[in-house]
Amino acid sequence: MNEQRPPRALRMSYLVASIAGVGFFAMSVLLLGVWPGQVLEEQTRVMSPEHPLGLSASERRGREIYSREGCAYCHTQQVRYLHSDMERFGAPTLAWETRFDYPHLWGTRRIGPDLARESGSHPADWHFVHFYAPRSVVADSVMPAYSAMFDGSPDRPKQDARDLVAYLETLGRDRELAGSEGEAHARANCNCDKDEMSQMAFHAPELNANPHKTRRTGSPPALVTGSESRGKDLYARNCASCHGPQGRADGPGAAGLHPPPTNLAEHYYRYDRLSIVLTNGIAGTAMPAWRDFSIADRSALATFVRTLYVPQPEPTLPQNLLDLGARVYKENCAQCHGSTGAGDGTAVSELRIAPSNFRTGRPTLGETLRVLRNGIDGTQMAPWGADTNGRLSEAELSAVAYYVRSLLVVQSSD
Amino acid sequence: MSSQSKSAGSSVNQQLVYAHGLAAVVMLFVSITFGIIASTELLWPDLGGGSPWLSWGRLRYDHTQGILFGWLGNAFLAFLYHAVPVLTGRSVTSARLGQWLFGLWNFVIVVPGWMLVLAGFSQPLEWAEFPLVIDAFVVLALLLMAVQFLPPFFARGIEDLYVSSWYIIGGLIFTLFAYPMGNFVPELVPGARGAAFSGLWIHDAVGLFVTPLALAIIYFVIPAASRRPIYSHFLSMLGFWLLFFLYPLNGTHHYVFSVIPMSAQIGAITASALLGVDVILVVANLLLSLRGSGWFPRDLPLRFVSTATVFYLLVSIQGSVQAQMSVNQAVHFSDWVIGHSHLAMLGFATFAAAGGIGHAWQRIPWARYNHRAMDWSYWLLFAGLAAMFINLTIAGVVEARLWQSNAPWLDSVRAVRPFWIGRTHSSLLIVAGFIAFFMGLTTGPKGAGLAAVEETVGLDAIDEISPRLSASHEVHGAAS
């Protein structure tokens, strides 16, 4: 069997080869693990803001839930240095942003969108409804429902759901908080002026480019009359789950939202108002922006939404009633809603959710009175009725309801 | 010579081959059930009814861990219990150790691992989803595997090893080294730094565990079942060393365009391209060894491994291509990669494992064997894999295109639904294929495996295995 034993030198070569094998492996660990690790550690040291926020106990628990449910297997947490990623999600992920990630949750598959910049993209009530019944706020989503984290309805989240949402709010938070000084600090210490790719981290169009993230300002495009059938289709897919099939705010997603979705059958809106809402969302509410929809699609949606409004008879009012309404409005409403009803009163900057603009949209009389009597859950619009705190009499309520409805400025193009 | 090989044959612990072979198939059914439910949940997301135990993420963890440990792990163990005594002429270290290892692998690692993941105890790390407590037992099991299988090789004398032996030794030792990189280091090293180590294991799980053992099977079964020596032992060894040199250097290609230093990314991408060249070398040697056997040999274990060889070529070339930046930036994160991993694990590794189990099974005189069922199994798996791969690859291209456009995100989810439906349906063919495989091992007359070998390649293929595999036959091998 062994009559042709190889010479001793050859036998030694196997020993050499075995050492080489271990060497290859050690080399891979050094070249692809240890050395990049040192570079990244140094980057973290010099580029991180001095006091990044760690995770609170609740946020840490949320992170564990995110881990155990395999969220990272559909949602990456890593914006790549690629324009396609940056336009969709925002600034590329820097090493220091991941300094508290034990273990990392970068992920290698995107079924849902990247979440590295999720912080500030959606309010908590939206998240709760989304976890409870994902398809009630995101049509055609394939995300599993996490209803076991709730006590039977989306507005009764258990601790798990609250922790998970708290964790999502931390994704990208440190970079947001670092602000422009933080960016300047990171950029100055990056020592990468000549490295085009590294520079991309500081040249993203936006830090958080989530097209659904709401914002208070931002110039909306002019919308025109669009295809009603296309609008109907888009509405059924994307809006009906909250606003209801007829716009009556009775969709399955409506139940857990605070404030509740607008009843579109009870509101007349100008095109420019709808453009602002569709382009910017309504900051502080679950109404997301739809900037990823083309202008033609937003026009189509606006056109369809306007057909949902059910006009009601408009009585002509005696002048003394309107005068009373104007006085009540000036005394009680103008601080927030503005003296002309444009939603630009002096107190606006203090409000989480912007007050209604009565010049670009008009609620029905019934809706106006309901809001005056009940307030709007989840906003600073308080109840004004006699049965709540007696601030306004029935006559004053009616008068001011008629008055605000007179503030609409009809545009010739509408 | 023949007296030595006879004694080698009789030292195979057939009970352990049988036990691991059956366990592999049972675990396989559980693992693919996880996968099928998960893929169906992408079509009907409310299928699980909000139950945490049926939620997509946990099923997805269990699917891949089950395939890696439950199916491939058991299949490799079954093969090792057959191959190590044949290759070395010596028994494995201990039959008692074998029983403990069987229990440890199945009832301390795989089954509790699955349950813990479903109950919410896991790690969010690819190919490392079982929780840390299970990882500790995996390391123990890998150590015991080294104790069980490596001493016969060293006792035999290392200068006289056939290439399968090298792959077995390399696979067992380097898995032991690589495993902590993906399972422990990212728990200790945060974020981007941890991801760099994670990338090493993501690739090493396939490159240092699955690939070497699958290649050990292929290199073993081809000469043993075809009665022809391997074309060139020199190419075999060159391929082996290049593989162990290049495979670990691939890791970072899972994080291209990330913040991980570009030179590490480029190094990994270069290694990925070179790996493709190495695989061409290995596969050329294997296909040259198969010449004369035809594309679809009648001996089914041989047919399984020869097809595995072709899948190995395809999946490796695909890997080299998709690691390149221009391709990677488009298809990374998409279903394209899911198609790639199924081609690797279900195409290359599973076909090799099925061939390895089948080959060892045929040589257990008291085991049942059903040639027709095996034939059905081969074609059903072939068709199922092809359908799945094509569906996922197209889905990946569709996703990539939509992600590069300014279409809303959900459009990419809506657009691939038809392909996901196709993928889920393709799994029916795969289930049918595995049922046939199970029948191939459990129905039919006892000893039919031997009869099938006798009929297809002749009886001398059974007891003249060892000398044909010996490295000292290099000269004859290269000459023939």
Whole-number pLDDT of residue A389: 64
Tell me what percent of the residues of chain A surpass a pLDDT of 70.
Answer: 95
H and E: helices and strands count for chain B:
24, 0
Say if residues B63 and A77 touch (Cβ distance below 8 Å): no
Shortest alpha-carbon distance between residue B120 and chain A (Å): 5
Residue A154: cis peptide before it, omega within 30 degrees of 0: no
| Pairwise CA distance, residues A120 & A123, whole Å | 7
B396 — contact with chain A (CB < 8 Å)?
A: no
Helix (H/G/I), strand (E/B), else coil: A53: coil
Whole-number pLDDT of residue A322: 86
Residue B391 — very low, low, confident or very high, per pLDDT cuts 50/70/90? very high
| Pairwise CA distance, residues A35 & A102, whole Å | 19
The one-character DSSP state at A144 is P
B300-352 residue pLDDT tens: 999 999 999 999 999 999 999 999 999 999 999 999 999 999 999 999 999 99
A146 — contact with chain B (CB < 8 Å)?
A: yes
A108·B52 Cβ contact <8 A: no
User: Is residue B168 predicted with pLDDT exceeding 70?
Assistant: yes
A86-119 residue pLDDT tens: 999 999 999 999 999 999 999 999 999 999 999 9
Chain B, residues 210-249, CB within 8 A of chain A, namely 241, 244-245, 248-249
CATH number at residue B88: 1.20.210.10
B317, B362, B333: which is closest to B463 by C-alpha?
Answer: B362
- Domain, as residue range, for B354: 2-479
What does pLDDT average to over chain B? 89
Whole-number pLDDT of residue B466: 45
Whole-number pLDDT of residue B458: 59
Residue with tokens 């739809």: A290
A293, A265, A289: which is closest to A278 by C-alpha?
Answer: A289
Give the DSSP letter string of A81-119: SSHHHHHHHBSPPPGGGGTT-SS----SB-SS---TT-T
B210, B215, B221, B202: which is closest to B268 by C-alpha?
Answer: B202
B398, B10, B473, B442: which is closest to B234 by C-alpha?
Answer: B473
N- to C-terminal Cα separation, chain A: 98
B2 — contact with chain A (CB < 8 Å)?
A: no
Which residues lie closer than 8 Å to B328 by C-beta, 6 or more apart? B253, B256, B257, B269, B322
Top-confidence residue, A359 or A389: A359
In A, which residues are within 8 Å of B196 by CB distance? 32-33, 36-37, 40
Please list the alpha-helical segments (H only) found in A309-407.
Answer: 319-332, 334-337, 365-374, 394-405
Residue of chain A minimizing CA distance to B157: A11
Beta bridge mates, B333:
A109
The one-character DSSP state at A268 is E
The two three-digit tokens of residue B103, written as one number:
């229990």
**Mean of pLDDT values over A197-206:** 87
Whole-number pLDDT of residue B480: 31
CA distances from B391 to A117, A339, B421, B455, B478 (A): 31, 61, 9, 38, 41
B463 — contact with chain A (CB < 8 Å)?
A: no
Give the DSSP letter string of A277-332: HHHH--TTSS----TTS-HHHHHHHHHHHHHH----------HHHHHHHHHHHHHH
| Pairwise CA distance, residues B456 & B461, whole Å | 10
Phi/psi zone of residue B199: left (φ > 0), alpha (ψ -120 to 50 degrees), beta?
alpha
Burial class of residue A412, CB neighbours in 10 A (0-12, 13-18, 19+)? exposed
The count of structural domains within chain B is: 1
Largest CA distance in chain A: 122
A40·B261 Cβ contact <8 A: yes
Angle, CA of B72, B74 and B76, to the nearest 5°: 65
Say if residues A306 and A277 touch (Cβ distance below 8 Å): no
B222-273 residue pLDDT tens: 998 888 888 998 899 889 988 888 888 888 899 999 999 998 999 999 999 9
Which residues lie closer than 8 Å to A169 by C-beta, 6 or more apart? A59, A118, A119, A120
N- to C-terminal Cα separation, chain B: 20
ipTM: 0.90
Whole-number pLDDT of residue B142: 96
Chain B, residues 77-136, CB within 8 A of chain A, namely 120-126
A264, A216, A265, A269: which is closest to A409 by C-alpha?
Answer: A269
* Cβ pairs A/B, distance under 8 A: 247
A32·B267 Cβ contact <8 A: yes
Residue B158 — very low, low, confident or very high, per pLDDT cuts 50/70/90? low
Domains, chain A, with CATH or none: 57-120+169-202 (no CATH), 228-308 (1.10.760.10), 319-405 (1.10.760.10)
A1·B55 Cβ contact <8 A: no
A144·B45 Cβ contact <8 A: yes
Centre a 10 Å sphere on the Cβ of residue A343 and count the other Cβ atoms it contains: 18
User: Is residue A200 predicted with pLDDT exceeding 50?
Assistant: yes
**Mean of pLDDT values over B420-433:** 97
In A, which residues are within 8 Å of B4 by CB distance? 1
What does pLDDT average to over chain A? 89
Residue of chain A minimizing CA distance to B405: A84
Residue B457 — very low, low, confident or very high, per pLDDT cuts 50/70/90? low
**Mean of pLDDT values over B167-192:** 91
In A, which residues are within 8 Å of B241 by CB distance? 17, 20-21
| Pairwise CA distance, residues A293 & A279, whole Å | 9
A21·B178 Cβ contact <8 A: no
Residue of chain B minimizing CA distance to A84: B404
A32·B200 Cβ contact <8 A: yes
